[in-house]
């Protein structure tokens, strides 16, 4: 065991940087010579994400002046968030503001925030009218404090009709392109603000290390470094240099903390996470986003180690405020203070639950369907059970965010912004993201790209579905209302037909995904597999030159997406086996939000393309890759399991691998984290460290040369891993510490230089403090290894 040299602060641990990736909009459809060749060193992107922000104006005196004028009831009103049904009648497209309800909520109770849709996405015109009426009511209050409206803009402004949607977070992570994420964040912000809404409940910064979890597709994958870079990019894009501008909105980092690692894999269930593991893997994304200036945080709906997130003072106050320095406000998730009584059983009644949550650090309660929180909290303060000072603290935070958003200057929607929704340039950016996310996992005998004169069978339940391409949080909560999807976007089937001609394409669905009757809130699976015409699909395969077999999942969000088995549905597996039995070459296209186990059929497919949930431009992106109009360069942001009882991550211990004496074949995943093929080839050479030794307060340059040895231009994500050879806690096999996305013409070479710092070699010890220990380390890039010593 080595002697610990010293401990670093958690904030320093968050300050590792990733290179600024080239701007994807400059890329031609086939990565032509117009593409940017620039690759910055590893300090670029995260540093720019922090320092590009305009210095915040000092609103402290205005906030204090307002707080001094407020009654207790007005203060508690600001801490109250209600859903839109509390101020409206009707639903879906018939929703309208109810003047009496609005008067009660905003004028009588002084509610500080309203959220959500009542069923379906609305037009920008309808949204602006709703927001205008709400803010007009706020102007009738004594102090004229504007209402802060919030909504879930998850992969674009998905509750506003006609907006630009793009791949879900796992797909964006597969691009390894934070600059592209930043630019799409800008689009999200503009199109959300165009509806009159200044606050989004995104990004999801939970780490995707439990593939059963139904919100897996909402994460940036399993690696904290990749996820924190992409998360910071999103925050920078959405909030911009000046969050008060009419093209930016405030984010809400969610779901703080540890929500994504339930022991059962089921949503909103218990997690058991040692604190050092929590800090090592689950905290860095939030730390980096806070450092980038995020304004609000939403809380974990579940519990960690027996303590529900909404009463976890250590996490909400000691760490978030004391260690990370967060200065915005904390909002609960849906009904989660009530659930402290009804579900988690840590409070005997809602009165106790309210006191516990507020004292733990909750500033605003997403109540959201009654006035219980406001009534109870007023009484608690009057009785002395909650100090007036704690309420004042929460209200100061809420008011500060409203000032920084510019709502006190002008809370009314800007009608001129409506013309900037769904611009062709924004749609092109979404298409580029979908293309860059495409991850080619297998391509035996270079089956892909396909010739455009071949007879193609397109089959499978995700082949002709925009719903599957998008998943949840698309026009409705579950993403399931097909009538709301744009009519001019191509499914995979339609894109293939457009590419090679309808006369060269046969479509037979084979199976379908069926939505059971009843509300998705009943906890049943959102979709089940059902056989349709497997025999007909097999017959059609015999007459085709190649089969494009589109399998995966339909749409789901949160608890209705719970499953008990990661195995792909039996009807889909039977379809694949029947097609493969014909002997025709099969291209398997996976459209799914989490990695469904396919070991029965993977070997029989000649090519496998992981499409994730690429959104409305995804059909075209898939076809672009299949027929060679775009050279794929996506890399898996998670480990794809081979079997349901063999779930692990890429940073597993070295002895767990199959090529060691303790390993076995079962520990080999179906596909490794970071895996992804191209239609060209790349060679790595000359991996070097700048010197043989490094001090903990110094830097270690690491350089590697990349050469495009193929015949096509292409992009390669260069991933640098670090391996600690001996540590006082058993070290991971390797960890991502830098990456860069590099574009090269055929025959072109480039040397990429990264710089490692002491914090890149640290880990969180058993005392929950980051530590750096001297000893030997390895860097691994592209199959090459170099070694150096930390003194």
Note the pLDDT tens digit of each residue in 567-624: 999 999 999 999 999 999 999 999 999 999 999 999 999 999 999 999 999 999 999 9
Overall average pLDDT of the 95-106 stretch: 98
Question: Residue 270: helix, strand or coil by DSSP?
Answer: coil
Q: What region does 747 belong to: left with phi over 0, alpha with psi -120 to 50, or beta?
A: left
Q: Are strands 439-443 and 365-366 parallel, antiparallel or unpaired?
A: unpaired
To which residue do tokens 């199109």 refer?
191
CA-to-CA separations, 687 to 38, 699, 702, 704, 781, in angstroms, rounded = 20, 16, 7, 4, 8
Catalytic residues: 333
Alpha-carbon distances of 37 from 24, 175, 552, 717, rounded to whole Å: 11, 17, 36, 13
pLDDT at position 654 is 87
CB-CB neighbours of 69 under 10 Å: 10
pLDDT at 239 over 90: yes
Per-residue confidence (pLDDT) for residue 2, from 0 to 100: 35
**329-331: strand order across its sheet:** 252-256, 296-299, 329-331
Those residues with Cβ within 8 angstroms of residue 222's Cβ, 6 or more apart along the chain or in another chain: 207, 208, 209, 637, 638, 639, 649, 650, 673
With the C-alpha atoms ordered 274, 280, 282, 283, is the resulting torsion angle positive or negative?
Answer: positive
Q: What angle do CA 678, 431, 421 make, to 5 degrees?
A: 165
Please state the rounded mean pLDDT for residues 262-285: 98
- Other residues' Cβ atoms within 10 Å of the Cβ of residue 694: 22
pLDDT band at 517 (very low <50, low <70, confident <90, very high): low
Please state the pTM of the whole predicted model: 0.94
**Cβ neighbours around 51 below 10 Å, total:** 8
Confidence check: pLDDT of 676 > 70: yes
147, HSE (Cβ side, Cα atoms, 13 Å)? 36
Task: Return d(Cα 593, Cα 450) in angstroms, integer.
Answer: 26
Predicted local distance difference test score (pLDDT) of residue 528: 86
Express each pLDDT in 621-654 by its tens digit. 999 999 999 999 999 999 999 999 989 999 999 8
pLDDT at 516: 73
Nearest residue to 14 (alpha-carbon basis) of 224, 174, 299:
224
Segment 28-39 shows an average pLDDT of: 36
Which helix (H) or strand (E) is 621 found in, with range?
helix 618-626
Residue range 776-785: mean pLDDT, rounded: 98
pLDDT in tens, 420-470: 999 999 999 999 999 999 999 999 999 999 999 999 999 999 999 999 999
Contact predicate 156/191, CB 8 Å:
yes
Dist CA 471 CA 435 (whole Å): 17
- 541 within 8 A of 584, measured Cβ to Cβ: yes
Q: How far is CA 63 from CA 51, 242, 334, 386, 572, in A?
A: 26, 19, 28, 21, 59
Q: In DSSP terms, which residues pair with 764 in a beta bridge?
A: 770
* 179 within 8 A of 233, measured Cβ to Cβ: yes
pLDDT of residue 660: 58
- Report d(CA 34, CA 713) in Å as an integer: 11
Q: How far apart are CA 149 and CA 116, in angstroms?
A: 8
438, 625 in Cβ contact below 8 A?
Answer: yes
Distance CA 119, CA 157 (A): 15
Q: pLDDT value at position 8?
A: 31
From CA 421, how far away is CA 443, in angstroms rounded? 39
Q: How confident is the model at residue 664 (pLDDT cuts 50, 70, 90)?
A: low
Cα dihedral 405→411→412→414 (10° resolution): -20
pLDDT at residue 92, as a whole number = 87
pLDDT band at 23 (very low <50, low <70, confident <90, very high): very low
Smallest Cα–Cα separation from 559: which of 262, 332, 281? Answer: 262
């Amino acid at each position: 065991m080595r002697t610990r040299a010293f401990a670093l602060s958690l904030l320093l641990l968050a300050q590792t940087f990733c290179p600024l990736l080239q701007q994807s909009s400059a890329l031609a459809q086939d990565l032509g010579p117009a593409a940017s060749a620039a690759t910055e060193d590893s300090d670029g992107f995260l540093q720019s994400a922090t320092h590009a922000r305009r210095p915040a104006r000092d609103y402290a005196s205005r906030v204090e002046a307002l707080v001094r004028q407020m009654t207790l009831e007005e203060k508690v009103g600001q801490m109250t968030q209600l859903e839109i049904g509390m101020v409206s009648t009707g639903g879906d497209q018939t929703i309208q503001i109810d003047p009496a309800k609005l008067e009660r909520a905003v004028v009588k109770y002084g509610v500080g925030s309203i959220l959500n849709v009542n069923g379906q996405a609305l037009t920008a015109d309808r949204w602006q009218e709703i927001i205008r009426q709400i803010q007009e009511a706020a102007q009738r209050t004594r102090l004229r404090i504007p209402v802060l409206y919030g909504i879930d803009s998850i992969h674009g402004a998905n509750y506003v009709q006609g907006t630009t949607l793009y791949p879900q977070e796992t797909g964006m992570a597969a691009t390894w392109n934070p600059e592209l994420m930043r630019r799409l964040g800008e689009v999200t912000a503009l199109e959300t603000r165009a509806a009159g809404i200044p606050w989004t409940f995104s990004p999801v910064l939970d780490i995707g290390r439990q593939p059963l979890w139904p919100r897996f597709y909402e994460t940036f994958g399993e690696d904290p470094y990749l996820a924190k870079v992409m998360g910071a990019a999103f925050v920078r894009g959405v909030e911009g240099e000046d969050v008060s501008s009419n093209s930016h909105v405030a984010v809400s980092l969610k779901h703080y903390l540890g929500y994504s690692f339930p022991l059962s894999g089921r949503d909103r269930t218990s997690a058991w996470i040692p604190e050092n593991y929590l800090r090592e893997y689950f905290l860095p994304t939030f730390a980096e986003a806070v450092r980038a200036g995020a304004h609000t945080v939403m809380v974990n709906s579940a519990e960690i180690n027996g303590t529900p997130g909404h009463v976890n003072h250590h996490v909400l106050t000691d760490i978030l405020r004391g260690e990370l320095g967060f200065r915005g406000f904390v909002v609960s998730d849906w009904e989660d203070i009530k659930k402290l009584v009804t579900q988690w059983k840590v409070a005997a009644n809602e009165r106790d639950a309210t006191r516990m949550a507020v004292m733990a650090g909750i500033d605003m309660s997403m109540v959201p369907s009654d006035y219980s929180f406001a009534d109870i909290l007023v009484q608690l303060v009057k009785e002395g059970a909650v100090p007036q000072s704690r309420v004042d603290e929460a209200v100061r935070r809420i008011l500060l965010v409203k000032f920084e958003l510019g709502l006190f200057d002008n809370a009314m929607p800007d009608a001129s912004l409506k013309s900037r929704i769904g611009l062709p340039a924004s749609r092109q950016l979404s298409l580029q993201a979908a293309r860059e996310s495409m991850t080619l996992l297998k391509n035996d005998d270079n089956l892909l790209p396909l010739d455009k004169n071949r007879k193609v069978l397109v089959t499978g339940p995700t082949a002709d579905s925009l719903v599957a391409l998008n998943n949840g949080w698309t026009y409705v909560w579950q993403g399931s209302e097909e009538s709301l999807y744009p009519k001019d976007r191509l499914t995979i089937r339609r894109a293939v037909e457009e590419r090679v001609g309808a006369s060269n394409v046969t479509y037979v669905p084979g199976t379908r995904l069926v939505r059971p009757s009843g509300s998705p809130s009943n906890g049943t699976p959102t979709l089940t597999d059902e056989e349709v015409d497997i025999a007909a699909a097999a017959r059609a395969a015999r007459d085709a030159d190649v089969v494009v077999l589109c399998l995966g999942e339909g749409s789901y969000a949160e608890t209705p997406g719970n499953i008990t088995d990661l195995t792909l549905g039996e009807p889909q597996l039977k379809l694949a086996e029947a097609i493969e039995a014909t002997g025709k070459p099969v291209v398997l296209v996976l459209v799914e939000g989490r990695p469904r186990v396919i070991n029965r059929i993977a070997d029989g497919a000649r090519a496998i393309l992981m499409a994730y949930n690429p959104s409305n431009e995804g059909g075209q992106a898939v076809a672009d890759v299949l027929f060679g109009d775009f050279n794929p360069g996506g890399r898996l942001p998670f480990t794809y399991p081979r079997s349901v009882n063999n779930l692990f991550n890429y940073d597993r211990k070295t002895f767990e691998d199959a090529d060691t004496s303790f390993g076995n074949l079962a520990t080999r995943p179906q596909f490794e984290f970071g895996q992804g093929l191209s239609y060209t080839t790349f060679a790595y050479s000359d991996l070097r460290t700048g010197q043989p030794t490094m001090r903990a307060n110094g830097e270690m340059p690491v350089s590697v040369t990349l050469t495009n040895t193929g015949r096509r231009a292409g992009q390669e994500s260069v991933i640098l891993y670090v391996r600690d050879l001996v540590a006082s806690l058993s070290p991971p096999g390797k960890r991502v510490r830098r990456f860069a996305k590099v574009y090269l013409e055929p025959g072109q070479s480039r040397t990429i230089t990264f710089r490692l710092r002491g914090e890149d070699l640290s880990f969180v010890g058993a005392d929950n403090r980051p530590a750096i220990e001297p000893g030997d380390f390895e860097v691994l890039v592209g199959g090459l290894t170099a070694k150096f010593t930390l003194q």
